Amino acid sequence: MFHMTQRVAWHENQWDGTICSHPTENSFCIALDRIRLERQDAKEIQEASRSWGKLDPDDIPPCKAEAGGFMNKEDWTRLIRHPYKDLPKTRDTHGHLKDTVLKVPPYTSFAVPFAWMLNDNQKAIDNSLPEPLPEDEKAPFSSPWVFGKDRQEALSELMFGRLSNEKSLVFFYCKEGTPLGDLTSRLVVGVGRILSVGKTGYYESTKKATYPLWDRKISHSIRPNGHDGFLLPYHEYIKPTGNAEEDARRFELLKEIAVIPDTNQIRSFSYASELASPDVALSTLVRCLEAVRKIREHNITKKP
């Protein structure tokens, strides 16, 4: 059985499906290119702390595409536009695709199998299968990505079909941009069970032909009470106490509870969403257990 890793952007309010309470003070999330290019500070300051479910889809911050609200307590609406929709060279193949609205239920994130869609990985994928997947279609421009609809569908099913509802685990992690800075390139922030993997979605279209969404809804079991999965309480450790010495002490303790994947397992914590083998899951869970024991020793926050 396989498990999954899911990259998230650092969020001030513990990924609760709101805009950060102090958006400009969250300098960590802009380590991710998409957020750095698209974040609108003035708009986020105006809407600070508001639930995504109460916002127009266009006003939800760019971390929506980086699982920035995976602990959402309320439904919210995401609008997805295909990146090829307005390109002259793909007018015939993608110009008819419409902006597509997706309803996102509580405690749900989006997983995207980027590594599986890279052209450079296709030969290895086909060689690992009894029968090759559908042939790709040639893109009308230079691209690192698989272009053909049928192959995209098959690749998505190949990855997500290896996950088991109610049994597979999901490990949420930050790739970069965390309070620990350069001390680590990967930081596990939460672990839970995958309750359901959404089916392949498709772009709305003005024609019968359409393309699959790469984004899949992943509903998970993590809840604030920590009963069936938990978040590591990193935010509690960095919360200012009003005492500079105590803040410094807690930051040193934070290093002790940081769950950092083994260096030889970094590949499983890359490319936004990826499968994790039982060995990777077990190793990461052992590190989580060690962190929980440290948290109890520190006794500065609630036990996860």
Percent of the chain with pLDDT over 90: 96
How far apart, in whole angstroms, are the C-alpha atoms of residue 88 and residue 75? 36
Average pLDDT, the chain: 96
| The predicted structure's pLDDT at residue 44 | 95
pLDDT at residue 303 tops 50: no
Q: Residue 198 has what DSSP assignment?
A: P
Average pLDDT over residues 57-72: 96
Can you tell me the mean pLDDT for 143-147? Answer: 98
pLDDT band at 166 (very low <50, low <70, confident <90, very high): very high
Across residues 3-8, what is the average pLDDT?
A: 98
Question: What tokens appear for 264 in the block?
Answer: 């030889």
Q: What is the pLDDT of residue 302?
A: 52
> Does 241 have pLDDT greater than 90?
yes
- Interatomic CA distance for residues 238 and 258, integer angstroms: 12
Q: What are the backbone angles phi and psi of residue 31, rounded to the nearest 5°?
A: -65, -20
Contacts of residue 304, Cβ cutoff 8 Å, sequence gap at least 6:
226, 230, 231, 232, 233, 292, 295
Q: What are the domain boundaries of the chain? A: 3-11+80-298
CA 20 to chain CA centroid, nearest Å = 17
20-39 pLDDT, tens digit each: 999 999 999 999 999 999 99
> What confidence score (pLDDT) does residue 143 get?
97
DSSP 26: -
Confidence bin at 300 (pLDDT 50/70/90): confident
The pLDDT value recorded for residue 176 is 84
* Predicted confidence (pLDDT) at residue 217 exceeds the cutoff of 50: yes
- Contact between 268 and 274 under an 8 Å Cβ cutoff? The reply is yes
